[in-house]
Amino acid sequence: MPSKTIAIDLDDTLNNFSETLARTRFEYDASYGMDEDTFSRHLERLRSGAKDESELLSTQYSFLRYRIHQRCYELSRPTADGVNFMRALRSDGWRIVICTHRDLRRANACTRRWLDDNKIPFDYLFMAWNKIVFCRAWAIEHLVDDDPFNIRFGTTHGVNVYYPLTERNRGIDPSGARGFSQFDEVRRWIER
């Protein structure tokens, strides 16, 4: 009998993180530790998805990124069909592993609170940078995630990847991964 364990991403899979980041008005204040012009430049870079180019572990940009993302984690709205999907998984006896890129050393409490507030069931909550390796190590056959790397390479490494169809990933070669518009599609695929 196949394993009934599934790994599921949070940001832009079960919620509207990118939309929240793009549309939320973040007011400047001195607690950010930078002047208002630097704050505005860094916020624009953050919204465009720019990485911190510094070799330092902590910079003004990484600190602002953490603070702004933390706020977005709290403000993001869950997708209604995603919540229903998670509840259906629970009803069907699936073991649910939330697998995220979030730094859970800092965002564990707010992430758990968000999941609880939105009545999203789960068994485990993990931070994983390489979700394909994580799934292989845990013998998880199914991954629901929007990351282009996982979409491209998951199937080649024995992980069935399902991803929400978005502008960000429409041009990606899915290499066997399956794109979905509604979570009900994923439910039909994993029940086979």
Give Cα separations from 3 to 62, 145, 177 (angstroms): 39, 19, 19
Calculate what percentage of the chain has a pLDDT beyond 70. 98
pLDDT for res 3:
61
pLDDT for res 174:
83
Q: Is the pLDDT of residue 152 over 60?
A: yes
pLDDT for res 167:
84
**What is the total residue count of the chain?**
192
What does the buried/exposed string (b/e) look like for 7-27 if buried means 16 or more CB atoms within 10 Å of the residue's CB?
A: bbbbbbbbbbbbebbeeeebe
As given in the structure block, the two tokens for residue 44 are 């624009």
pLDDT for res 170:
80
Structural domains of the chain in order of their starting residue, each with its CATH number: 5-15+78-190 (3.40.50.1000), 18-75 (no CATH)
Average pLDDT for 16-35: 95
Q: Is the pLDDT of residue 112 over 70?
A: yes
- Which is higher by pLDDT, 138 or 53? 138
In the Cβ-directed half-sphere of 102, how many Cα atoms lie within 13 Å? 28
pLDDT for res 2:
46
- Dump strand ranges (E) for 9-166: 95-100, 124-127, 142-144, 160-164
* Residue/partner pairs of 61-69 with CB below 8 Å, 24 or more apart: 63/32, 63/33, 64/32, 64/34, 64/39, 66/103, 66/106, 67/32, 68/21, 68/26, 68/43, 69/21, 69/102, 69/107
Q: What confidence category does residue 168 fall into, taking pLDDT thresholds of 50, 70 and 90?
A: confident
Average pLDDT for 167-192: 90
Overall pTM surpassing 0.95 (yes/no): no
Q: Is the pLDDT of residue 4 over 50?
A: yes
